[in-house]
Amino acid sequence: MTENAYPPRQFLDAAGNAIGWEYDAIAEIAKAAERDGVHESISSDAMVPAV
């Protein structure tokens, strides 16, 4: 889960696409584990209860 508010870790580009280091890292880890990486964007006040 991420909030997309912390460039360069995770943020939205001008087109509204989620990009950044954390997305790249998850994609590489998922690739190595032969799994699909899943990203969910939520507000920070909802993160703690969601975890």
In the chain, what are the domain boundaries?
5-50
How do residues 2-48 score in pLDDT, each as one tens digit?
Answer: 678 889 998 999 998 889 998 999 899 999 999 988 777 677 777 77
Both tokens assigned to 19: 């990009």
Give yes or no for a contact between 9 and 50, defined as CB atoms under 8 angstroms apart: no
Helix, strand, coil percentages, rounded to 5, for the chain:
35, 20, 45
What's the 3-state SS for 17-34?
Answer: CEECHHHHHHHHHHHHCC
pTM over 0.75: no
